[in-house]
Amino acid sequence: DLRHHDIAVIGMACRLPSASDPSAFWHLLRAGTSAISEVPDGRWPDAELVDVTALLGCVLGELRPGDGP
């Protein structure tokens, strides 16, 4: 039963939806908060080809070089 074992995280660096750092992501997980939101306009160039009222996903707020195309 994994609930009775200690876990140590010794280092972490990441970019996560709805969380500015690993600590904020941990709080999001503990609270059971959803990171799903509407995809920002212009994020998906071919989004106008999809027949839906809203595109949803877990997206980073601001893209940086290396985050994707």
Q: Could you read off the pLDDT of 45-61 as tens digits, one per residue?
A: 666 666 666 678 777 77
Nearest residue to 29 (alpha-carbon basis) of 43, 47, 9: 9
Q: How confident is the model at residue 3 (pLDDT cuts 50, 70, 90)?
A: low
SS3 43: coil
What value does the mean pLDDT take over residues 4-32? Answer: 81
Phi, psi of 5 (to 5 degrees): -115, 140
Average pLDDT over residues 4-11: 74
More confident of the two residues 46 and 20? 20
Whether the Cβ atoms of residue 57 and residue 36 lie closer than 8 Å to each other: yes
What is the chain's mean pLDDT, rounded? 75
* In the predicted structure, residue 38 carries a pLDDT above the cut 80: yes
Pairing of strands 37-38, 56-57: antiparallel
